[in-house]
């Protein structure tokens, strides 16, 4: 962050504005809105500042002189819009020496603070800043937010402000209050206020408050959420909404840190990552923790890479919750096969080349891999192997033994959908060597399909050559195939 955002209380404080033109008038108006008193310092008023003075004779005071150092004394804030280089330099130097915040319009070098683009739904304020780098973009974002936030939002926020103390008393625990406000803002109570029925909205809020206060030990809930394969843009809206709600997040190593960052800022984060050969937290322990946390009233986000029901043990985790009567929701995610296929330009089905598609595991619970159990295999289907990198030589060999042609196309996609994505395309006969040469690590997915031939023409996504790994805590997965880090 280049700037630290704050909101200043300027009520009844004196602010000094230099200049007599349009800019000075506009800036002074903003200060007046925030309750400040304004001293307008300019040798001569111009029509915009004259009008301002006429409109606020009691709160705008004109001092008919040019600024000289010392004039800033006693000001809570100084703003220069006089477009005079010597004065701008002098006022910046004097204010900096005295520790008074100073802003010179359009001259970032002379500003100790900058003013954001604003969506004003007082008491709700949304401030947007590009740090001076792209003010037009900041204004565009403001316009979008303007349309998203109905004008009545101010009413809603003001009402919430009036109820605050009462809510604090009725619901002493932070989690309870959070739940209360979410019920209020997500439901008919807020809806009523936003559509102008303020009394009805308030009544509803009070009723919800009574209900929540009566609930002694509210049961929590588990959100089993698929986070997709890595690119945060592939999250669903529902996943994002629940991520904002959770009190605790349990995530494993196949969730990229960029995704975990999107959870509520003050949510407790518990990594329960399972790296091959070093299971940090055993599955039973994860199941028990999920149930315990929810039973203590928490909303628990169980964040899974890809989709929770595709090689994600989602089913096992829900069984544990069922036994203890804990409510849950499941949010599907884009599974690695879909993400990698789309971002590598390898269609999973195609009317000419692959009329069906299977997702298989390349790593069995007992370590033994005999894929011929799932045969026969067809040249016109797509096979996708999850967790198969360490068994890649074995997978290719067994497919060849089962009668697939040596020149059948196959690919490995590493860190798919992330800037670190790498794709190796080859044939069943050459894939292992190509992957070893490229030193692919994990997570990686193997796609065996005639559609791999389409990759060169359908590729659209290019990772960045020097991108850091998106899964930095992903262990080396392979004995036969060395990971990039060795």
**Catalytic positions, written as ranges:** 252, 274
Site for ligand SAH in 148-207 (CB under 6 A): none
Query: How far is 43 from 52, CA to CA, in rounded Å?
Result: 16
- Whether the CA torsion 105, 106, 110, 112 is positive or negative: it is positive
Residue with Cβ nearer ligand SAH (387 or 424): 387
Quick one: residue 246, left, alpha or beta (phi over 0 = left, psi -120 to 50 = alpha)? beta
Q: What SS3 state is found at 80?
A: strand
Residues 6+ apart with CB under 8 A from 416: 229, 230, 336, 339, 340, 343, 344, 443, 445
- For position 478 contacting ligand SAH by CB under 6 A, the verdict is no
- For position 252 contacting ligand SAH by CB under 6 A, the verdict is no
Among residues 19, 48, 297, 305, the one that binds ligand SAH under rule CB under 6 A? 305
- For position 340 contacting ligand SAH by CB under 6 A, the verdict is yes
| Number of residues forming the site for ligand SAH (CB under 6 A) | 23
- For position 444 contacting ligand SAH by CB under 6 A, the verdict is yes
Q: Which residue in the block uniquely carries the two structure tokens 């008038």? A: 25
Site for ligand SAH in 254-293 (CB under 6 A): 254
* Tokens representing residue 466 in the block: 């020097």
Min dist CB 421 to ligand SAH, Å, is 7
DSSP 405: -
- For position 452 contacting ligand SAH by CB under 6 A, the verdict is no
- For position 312 contacting ligand SAH by CB under 6 A, the verdict is yes
Min dist CB 442 to ligand SAH, Å, is 6
Residue with Cβ nearer ligand SAH (254 or 300): 254
- For position 383 contacting ligand SAH by CB under 6 A, the verdict is no
- For position 432 contacting ligand SAH by CB under 6 A, the verdict is no
- For position 317 contacting ligand SAH by CB under 6 A, the verdict is no
Residues 6+ apart with CB under 8 A from 437: none
- For position 336 contacting ligand SAH by CB under 6 A, the verdict is yes
Query: Concatenated DSSP letters for 240-263?
Result: HHHHHH-SEEEE-TTS-HHHHTTS
Contact 2, 18 (CB under 8 A): no
- For position 229 contacting ligand SAH by CB under 6 A, the verdict is yes
Binding site for ligand SAH (CB under 6 A): 229-230, 254, 304-307, 310-312, 335-336, 340, 386-387, 413, 415-417, 442-445
């Amino acid at each position: 962050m280049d700037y630290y955002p704050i909101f200043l209380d300027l009520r009844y404080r004196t602010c000094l504005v230099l200049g007599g033109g349009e800019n000075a008038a506009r800036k002074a108006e903003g200060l007046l809105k925030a309750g400040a008193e304004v001293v307008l310092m300019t040798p001569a008023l111009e029509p915009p500042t004259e009008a301002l003075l006429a409109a606020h004779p009691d709160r705008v005071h004109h001092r008919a002189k040019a600024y000289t150092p010392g004039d800033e004394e006693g000001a809570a804030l100084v703003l220069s819009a006089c477009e005079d280089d010597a004065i701008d330099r002098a006022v910046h130097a004097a204010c900096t020496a005295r520790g008074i915040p100073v802003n010179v319009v359009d001259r970032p070098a002379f500003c100790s603070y900058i003013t954001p683009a604003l969506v004003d739904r007082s008491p709700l304020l949304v401030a947007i800043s590009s740090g001076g780098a792209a003010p037009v973009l900041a204004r565009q974002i403001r316009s979008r937010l303007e349309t998203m936030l109905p004008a009545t939002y101010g009413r809603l926020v003001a009402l919430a402000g009036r109820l605050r103390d009462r809510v604090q008393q009725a619901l002493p625990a932070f989690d309870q209050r959070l739940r209360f406000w979410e019920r209020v803002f997500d439901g008919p109570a807020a809806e009523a206020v936003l559509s102008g029925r303020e009394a009805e909205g308030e009544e509803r809020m009070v009723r919800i408050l009574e209900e929540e206060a009566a609930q002694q030990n509210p049961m929590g809930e588990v959100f089993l959420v698929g986070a997709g394969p890595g690119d945060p843009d592939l999250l669903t809206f529902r996943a994002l909404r629940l991520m904002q709600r959770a009190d605790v997040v349990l995530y494993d190593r196949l969730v990229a840190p960029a995704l975990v960052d999107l959870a509520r800022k003050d949510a407790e984060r518990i990594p329960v990552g399972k790296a091959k050969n070093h299971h940090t937290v055993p599955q039973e322990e994860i199941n028990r923790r999920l149930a315990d946390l929810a039973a203590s009233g928490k909303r628990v986000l169980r964040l899974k890479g890809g989709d929770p029901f595709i090689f994600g043990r989602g089913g096992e985790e829900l069984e544990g919750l069922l036994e203890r009567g804990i409510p849950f929701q499941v949010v599907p995610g884009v599974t690695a096969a879909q993400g990698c296929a789309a971002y590598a330009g390898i269609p999973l089905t195609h009317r000419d080349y692959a009329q069906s598609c299977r997702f298989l595991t390349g790593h069995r619970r007992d370590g033994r891999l005999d894929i011929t159990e799932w045969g026969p295999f067809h040249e016109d289907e797509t096979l996708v192997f999850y967790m198969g990198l360490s068994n890649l030589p074995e997978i290719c060999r067994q497919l060849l033994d089962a009668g697939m042609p040596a020149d059948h196309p196959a690919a490995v996609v590493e860190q798919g959908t992330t800037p670190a994505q790498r794709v190796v395309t080859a044939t069943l006969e050459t894939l292992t060597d190509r992957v070893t040469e490229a030193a692919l690590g994990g997570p990686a997915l193997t796609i065996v399909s005639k559609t791999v031939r389409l990759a060169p023409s359908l590729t659209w996504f290019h990772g960045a050559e020097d991108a850091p790994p998106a899964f930095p805590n992903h262990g080396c997965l392979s004995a036969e195939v060395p990971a990039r880090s060795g």
